[in-house]
Amino acid sequence: MFDEEVLLRSGVMFKMYLSLFACGLSGGLHAAAGLSSHYTIKSDKQKILPNGDLLATGHVHVVSGDMIIDADEATYNRTDPTRAAITAIGTPIKYSGKLEDGTPFTGRSRELDYWLLSGDLSLRGEAFIQHRNNTLSAAKIDYNVNTRKLVAASEPGRRVTSVIYPDTLPSQK
């Protein structure tokens, strides 16, 4: 992960935006990941690798609950059940889903890793998330669907960018 203190130094707006994703996206991603008992993977070609993992290539479409991932290639890593994961690459990967309140979210990146048991999700390569016109873009976005912790980091010479519309933020209780 990244040094949170360095990442959060950018100020209140970034902290508020992280809170938006902690309150908003976390519920939807958690619901999609936690409530789905299976993953449906469709693609042009699939094969079982010598280690037992499933490799899907060409127009890959993964569905789990309300979460949809479209990628060029995806691997369901199932060799070790304690380290089960879905990894994907694309130009770009596109994903979408619905939050607990029914509102949609979308995103894209060039690489995606999702560790099923731990709930760790890593988006790399021009990572971008949008919910209710609020956006977050960074070189890398790490998120845990169980702890609802989100950290976005930039590449050298670049910055994390948030565009926030305060009237779309959930009210704080």
Q: Model confidence over 70-87: pLDDT tens digits?
A: 999 999 998 888 888 999
The predicted model scores a pTM of 0.74
151: which residues sit within 8 A by CB, 6+ positions away? 1, 2, 4, 7, 141, 142, 143
- The per-residue pLDDT for range 85-143, each reduced to its tens digit, is 999 999 999 989 887 678 888 999 999 999 988 889 899 999 999 988 899 999 999 98
Query: DSSP letter at 81?
Result: G
